[in-house]
Amino acid sequence: MTGRDHDIDGERMWNEFIRICDCGGRLLGTASELAARQLLEKIGREATGAAVQQMSVSYDGWQASRCELTGADGGQLTCHPLLQSPVTAPGGLEAEVVDVGRGTRQEFAAHADEIPGRIVMVRHELMFAAGTIHRSCKYLSACKAGAAGFLIAGPLPNSPVSGSSGFEDGMGIPALGISRDVGDALASTSHGRQKVRMVIAASQAPAQAPNLIFDMPGQAGEWVVLSAHIDGHDLAESAIDDASGLAVALAVARALSGQVAACRRGLRLVLFNVEEWALNGSAHYVASLSHHEREAVAINVNIDCVGVGARLTALTSGFAGCEPFLLAQSEQAGVALNLFRPLQMNSDHGNFAKAGIPAFRLVSGFNDASADTRFVLTAEDTRDKVAPDNLEAAARLTLQIVAAALTAWPEDVAGWRAG
C-alpha cells in the first residue's frame, strides 16, 4: 500500500489546525489544554472510527502566580517563568548577573569563579539544529556551578522565551525566560555587573493528564505508532509546536482508516500529553510496554513542528537501517526529505529510540536559522507562521511513510532496527 492510494483532505486538515489553535497555547493543567484535549478526543474518534483509550500520566503540577524581574533602577523587565521553576523567597532573589553567552561548557568553565551566588544568563538558540545545546543542559550547568538563579534570553525583542526549566529533584534554582533586549541590557558594562531582583511565586501539587490513544488493528498484532503532542506553552497558540503535528497526524489517520484492517500492521494514533514536562507522557507509555509489545512496534513516526518551511528533516535517532526506506518514500511522495542521524531527545520519538524501537521525528526548518521554527517557545508561535501548502506536503510525506510501513515485509522491518 502506498500513500498515492489515498488522499489527504487538505481543507479539513487546515480547519482542524485552526480549531486546535483556537484553544490557545495548551499549557498543561489549564482550561486551554483541557479544551484542546476534548476537541482532539472528538476529532480522533471521527478520524479513526476507534474509541479513545485514555492513559493517565502522573506529573508534578505547577502553576505560576507571580513573576517579576526588576532592574537596578527599579524598572520592570520583560520576563516569563520557566516551567517547574523553583520559587523565590517572598521578597525575591537579588543578585548580580553573570553573562555566560551561549552557555557552552567552555563558557561555564571560564566563568566558574564568578558564578557562585549570582544569577547566570545564557542565550536561547535555534532548537532544531546539529550541535544545539538544549536549555535544560545550560540550566543544569548553572545549578552545578552554584548559581543562585537562571535567565535565558530569547530571540525576539520585547517578548520573552518560554520552556521547561529542567528542574530535577534536589537540584534547582529560580528560572526566567527574558527577551533579547533585556538580555542586552543586562550585559556587563565598564562599571561592572548588573544587579536584578527575581520574584517567582507558584503552586505545586501532584496532577494527572491523559495520553489519547486510538487503535486501528491490522492482521498480525504489529503496530506502526503515529504520534504528535497535545500540550504546549502559554505565550501564544503553540501553533507550530505542536498544533501542526496534531493536524497532520489526524489527517493521515483519517486517510488510512478504511484500509488498515487489511494490512499486516495496525495503526496506533497516540496524542501524547505532558510532552513539555520532560517528555513524561511518552516515557510513561513506553515504560508500560512489555518486551513483546515493544518488539511488535515496527516504527514510531513522530510529527512535531511542521508546516513552516519547504524542507523537512527526519531525525532518525541512530537507526540508520530505516533511512533508505524513508528516502524511498520521500521520492515516492515527491516531497524532499533531509536526514539527521544522531539521537536528539527533543520530542517523544526519543523515548521510543532509547527503548530500542525505531523512531524518528519529522520536523521543519532543521539547521535553517531563517525558518519560522525559530519562533517556537515565543509569542510568535502563531497560526500565521504555518503555511497550508507546507502543512499538506508534510501530511503527504507522512501518509506515504505510514502507508508503506503498514505493509512492509518483515525482513525489511527487521532491518530498520540496525544502527
158 backbone dihedrals φ, ψ, rounded to 5°: 65, 15
**Average pLDDT across the chain, whole number:** 95
Q: Which amino acid is at 129?
A: A
- Number of CB atoms found within 10 A of residue 38's CB: 11
One-letter amino acid at 154 equals G
Grid cell at residue 39 = 476537541
277 and 403, same domain (yes or no): yes
Query: How is residue 360 written as a grid cell?
Result: 524518528
Per-residue pLDDT band at 418 (split at 50, 70, 90): confident
The CATH number assigned to the domain holding 219 equals 3.40.630.10
Global pTM value: 0.95
- Whether residue 310 is found in the same domain as residue 164: no
Q: Are 236 and 336 in a shared domain?
A: yes
Last residue of a domain, one of 152, 176, 205: 205
Q: State how many domains the chain has.
A: 2
pLDDT tens, position by position, 370-388: 999 999 999 999 999 999 9
Residue 346's closest CA among 211, 229, 214? 229
Contact call for residues 29 and 204 (beta carbons, < 8 A): no
pLDDT single digits (tens) 5-52: 578 999 999 999 999 999 999 999 999 999 999 999 999 999 999 999
Q: Let me know whether 155 and 223 are in one domain.
A: no
Q: Under a CB-based contact definition with an 8 Å cutoff, are residues 254 and 8 in contact?
A: no
* Residue ending a domain, choose from 175, 205, 235: 205
Cell of 89: 523567597
**What gap in Å lies between CA 145 and CA 8, rounded to an integer?**
51
The candidate with the shortest Cα–Cα distance to 104, out of 78, 125, 118, 90, is 125
Q: For residue 215, is the peptide bond before it cis, meaning its omega torsion is within 30 degrees of 0?
A: no
The string of DSSP letters for 346-378 reads: SSTHHHHHHTT--EEEEEESTT-TTSGGGGTTS
Per 3-state DSSP, what percentage of the chain is helix, strand, and coil (rounded to 5)?
35, 25, 40
Q: What is the pLDDT of residues 140-175, one digit of tens each?
A: 999 999 999 999 999 999 899 999 887 766 679 999
CATH number of the domain that 170 lies in?
3.50.30.30
Strands 312-315 and 265-272: unpaired
- Shared domain for 133 and 173, answered yes or no, is yes
CB of 378 closer than 8 Å to CB of 125: no
Q: Is 376 helix (H, G, I), strand (E, B) or coil?
A: coil
Kindly report which listed range (25-39, 168-182, 210-224, 313-327) carries the lowest average pLDDT score.
Answer: 168-182
Q: Do residues 419 and 317 make contact, with C-beta atoms less than 8 angstroms apart?
A: no
Residue 127 and residue 170 share a domain: yes
Do 198 and 221 sit in the same domain of this protein?
A: no
Q: Which of 241, 258, 257 is nearest to 361 (CA)?
A: 241
Residues 179/378, Cβ–Cβ less than 8 Å: no
3-state secondary structure of 390: helix
Rounded CA separation 328/350 (Å): 23
User: Which residues make Cβ contacts (< 8 Å) with residue 19, sequence separation at least 6?
Assistant: 39, 43
Q: pLDDT tens, 268-291? A: 999 999 999 999 999 999 999 999
Residue 191 sits at φ, ψ, to 5 deg, of -90, -5
Rounded mean pLDDT, 82-94: 95
Range of the domain at 149: 62-205
Is a pLDDT exceeding 80 seen at residue 122? yes
Strands 359-364 and 297-303: parallel
Same domain, yes or no: 313 and 325: yes
Same domain as 92, residue 19:
no
Measured distance CA(40)–CA(291) in Å, rounded: 30
Q: What cell does 239 get? A: 501553533
Residue 289 and residue 397 in one domain: yes
The residue out of 186, 205, 224 marking a domain boundary is 205
CB 359 within 8 A of CB 346: no
Please indicate, yes or no, whether residues 219 and 359 belong to a single structural domain of this protein: yes
Give CA–CA dist 228/395, Å, rounded: 13
| Whether residues 183 and 228 fall in one domain | no
Q: How confident is the model at residue 307 (pLDDT cuts 50, 70, 90)?
A: very high
